[in-house]
Amino acid sequence: MQNSKPQRVLSAIEAVGPQVHHILRERIIQAELMPGERISEAEIAKALSISRQPVREAFIKLSEEGLVQVLPQRGTYVTRISAESVMDVRFVREAIEADIVRQVASEHRAATVDELRDQIVRQKQVPHDDRAAFLRLDELFHHTLATAAGRAYAWSVIESVKAQMDRVRFLSVDDLQVGRLIEQHERIVDAIASGEVGEAEQALRMHLREILKSLPEIARSRAEFFDGTE
C-alpha cells in the first residue's frame, strides 16, 4: 500500500494528530487516495515515525467528515462521494456565507478589499495544471471573508463539513471553470468595495451554486468516485 504513505514531513512544533489528519484529508480530496482504497494505520505510523495513536485520531476525524469508513476487524477504507451529502453541504454553506458577505459588504473596509484583490491577482498567476494551488487560494478567499466578518467559528463549521464538496470541486476544476470562478470572485469584491450588500450576497450565492452545474456531469464521467445514491 505504497500510495497510503503520506509524503510530508511533520512539524516538531505542532500537534501530530491534526497534521496527520490534514495530510490524509488533502490526499483524499485530491484523489491521490482513491475511493475503496484501504489505508493502514500501522503503515502510516511507520512512514511518519510516530505512534499509532495520532493516526487513529486522524482516522476518527476523517470518519466524522465522511472521508473514510472504519470497519472493525476489516480495516479503514476511503469512501465514495455522496452526491446527496454534497448538495446538503452546499445548501448549508451558502446560507452561512451569504450572511458573512452581507456583513463584509456593509462594512466594506478598504483593507479587506485590498487583501481580496491581492488574492485574485495570485489566483490568476496559478499555473493551469495546478488545480490544488488554485483551490487553496479559493479556500483562502472564503476564509478571508469569514475572518473579516469576525465569524471564525462559522468558518470552522463550514470547514468541518465541506470535505465531500471539496472532492467534487477538485475533480471539476479546469481552465474554463477557473476563469469563471475568478470572475465571480471579482464580482463579489467589486460589490463589497462599493458597499452593495444585496449585490455582494447575490454574487456569492451564484458563486457557490457553480457546483450545481458541474456535479451531474462529474458524477457521470467519474462514476468510480461516487456511491450511486444520487
Task: Based on the fold, state whether residues 106 and 50 are members of the same structural domain.
Answer: no
Q: Which DSSP category does 78 fall into? A: E
CA distance 39 to 50: 16
Task: Based on the fold, state whether residues 22 and 90 are members of the same structural domain.
Answer: no
Task: Based on the fold, state whether residues 159 and 102 are members of the same structural domain.
Answer: yes
CA distance 160 to 150: 18
CATH number at residue 49: 1.10.10.10
Task: Based on the fold, state whether residues 69 and 96 are members of the same structural domain.
Answer: no
Residue 11: what pLDDT? Answer: 72
Residue 10: what pLDDT? Answer: 76
Task: Based on the fold, state whether residues 174 and 131 are members of the same structural domain.
Answer: yes
- Is residue 209 within 8 Å of 184, Cβ to Cβ? no
Task: Based on the fold, state whether residues 201 and 117 are members of the same structural domain.
Answer: yes
- What residue ranges of the chain have pLDDT lower than 50? 1-6, 229-230
Task: Based on the fold, state whether residues 101 and 149 are members of the same structural domain.
Answer: yes
Domain end point (choices 49, 78, 107): 78
Residue 226: what pLDDT? Answer: 95
Q: Is residue 230 part of a domain?
A: no
